[in-house]
Amino acid sequence: MEEFITRWLMDPTVGRIVASFVVILVLITVIKFIQKTLSGKIKDTDTRYRIRKSISFFGYITAIFFLTIVFSDKLGGLTVAFGVAGAGIAFALQEVIASFAGWFAISFAKFYKPGDRVQLGGIKGDIIDIGILRTTLMEIGQWVNGDLYNGRVVRIANSFVFKEPVFNYSGEFPFLWDEIKIPIKYGSDYRFARDLFAKISSDILGDFAARAKNAWEELVEKFLIENASVEPMITMTANDNWVEFTIRYVVDYKTRRITKDKLFSRILEEIDQYKDKIGLASATFHLVEAPTINVKLNK
């Protein structure tokens, strides 16, 4: 028994395993210490996140490099065994491998990055972390109206980028087109109403239009896409009940709901000042009594 223990302890392979375990343990400790130290000194959230991920990635590479050096003379004789085992592992872990490939594509093909607002697999949210196997989102919508957080943290396998469309609200063009509709009574001053809505749109949306114009020009140079107007557009249609004005505009993807609130608030305030020229329309339903019905019965 003692001879077996002595021979086992003197085995070079055992020594290499122990050395690898110790080095990896020390490496993990050093990485955690560096991450904690830098997190306390870096105030910018985006920079702090990227540095933490870079340090972790460097740790993985260092560990793999060390293990390759330690076991380099043993790899040649295990080629066949590794090949057979690798085929079985690849079949059993195909979803994991697809997720790793998805992480590689996300990292280098720039499907999205932390901080982007996306829709993956029918789930909308802001990217808060991109791991090797899963992407983590802070979900928006669902039972909460508007583009607001609902409090759920969702983790989606990276393999989804190969299976379903990836909708990025903040990629190359971090703006969205939105619109509001204002019903106006027949008999109002339509020309005055159009000019008033144009002035309000220019005051509230002018900054968005200026920034969106530069972003759209860069998009046109990068992709085969026609040029489009990012200035607020006002159109008018008439129906059986009222004249309807539609304001179509470009807005930052994070402030869509707030901007809509500002527009409606300003429009209502301005219309109240010009009630003699503009009147808001609304649907009115008039209920009347049913007519008297005489019924004659034959005996």
123 within 8 A of 137, measured Cβ to Cβ: yes
pLDDT value, residue 6: 56
* 59 and 29 in a common domain: yes
pLDDT value, residue 2: 54
* 259 and 220 in a common domain: yes
* 239 and 209 in a common domain: yes
pLDDT value, residue 244: 93
Residue 260 belongs to what H/E stretch? helix 256-273
Question: Per the domain annotation, does 279 fall within a domain?
Answer: no
* 213 and 196 in a common domain: yes
Tell me the residue range of the domain where 247 lies: 175-273
* 113 and 35 in a common domain: no
Question: Per the domain annotation, does 69 fall within a domain?
Answer: yes
Dist. CA 36–CA 61, nearest whole Å: 20
Token pair recorded at residue 11: 């085995």
Dist. CA 140–CA 117, nearest whole Å: 9
* Of the residues 168, 201, 220, the one at which a domain ends: 168
Average confidence (pLDDT) per 10 residues, the chain, 299 residues: 53 67 79 75 67 73 72 55 55 71 83 88 88 89 83 89 87 88 91 92 89 86 82 90 92 89 92 89 65 68
* Of the residues 142, 168, 194, the one at which a domain ends: 168
* 265 and 179 in a common domain: yes
* 137 and 75 in a common domain: no
The whole-angstrom distance between residue 168's C-alpha and the CA centroid of its chain comes to 6
pLDDT value, residue 43: 66
* 70 and 130 in a common domain: no
Q: What's the structural domain count of the chain?
A: 3
pTM of the full predicted structure? 0.65
* 123 and 88 in a common domain: no
Question: Per the domain annotation, does 287 fall within a domain?
Answer: no
For residue 128, which of 45, 195, 207 has the smallest C-alpha distance?
45
pLDDT value, residue 282: 79
Phi and psi at residue 78, in whole multiples of 5°? -105, 15
For residue 149, give the CATH number of its domain.
2.30.30.60
In the numeric block, the tokens 């003699």 are attached to 276
pLDDT value, residue 184: 92
Question: Per the domain annotation, does 295 fall within a domain?
Answer: no
* Of the residues 62, 92, 122, the one at which a domain ends: 92
- What's the chain's Rg over C-alpha atoms? 32
Question: Per the domain annotation, does 282 fall within a domain?
Answer: no
The whole-angstrom distance between residue 209's C-alpha and the CA centroid of its chain comes to 22
Residue ranges with strand state E in 3-142: 117-120, 123-130, 134-140
* 203 and 268 in a common domain: yes
pLDDT value, residue 76: 52
